[in-house]
Amino acid sequence: MSCPVTIRLQSADFDIAAEIAVLTKGRTDIGAVVSFSGICRGGEGGDAIAAMTLEHYPGMAEAEISRHVDEAKARWPLTGVTVIHRYGRVVPGDNIVLVLTASAHRQAAFQAAEFLMDYLKANAPFWKSEERSDGNAWVEAQAHDDDAAARWKP
């Protein structure tokens, strides 16, 4: 069977169950779907995030995500992949990102989803600005995200 791929960057919210249904409809070769959904967190007190604005470079972001999806498909026997990443302003509780990986077996689906999320968190061409009570600030790269992505290098 083929491995359909969906990559979307959008400002609108997404429905996780609907995306899984699209990925699996009519497929009998899928034995596992792993889903990861990233949600805007708020926190508590004066350090709480009131909102986050995500920016990207249209065209480049999709191409980079596609390149990493192709790498995941080469590493694991996947039967479907969906990556949806939002841009624009989101508030705590809003969905930000969805990664779905499908395979005949769970291990490949789990590993591919983790690989893709590690890439998205550390290297995808998105820029994030957090709004807090004391002002706005761009989110800096985190060493632990880079370390997580680096473990997948050959």
pLDDT in tens, 38-85: 999 987 766 789 999 999 988 899 999 999 999 999 999 999 999 999
Question: CB neighbours (10 Å) of residue 88?
Answer: 13
Mean pLDDT over each residue of the chain, to the nearest integer: 91
Alpha helix ranges (H) inside the chain: 16-24, 60-75, 106-123, 143-150
Domains of the chain listed by start with CATH number: 5-150 (3.90.1170.40)
pTM higher than 0.85 for the full model? yes
User: What local confidence, expressed as pLDDT, does residue 103 receive?
Assistant: 98
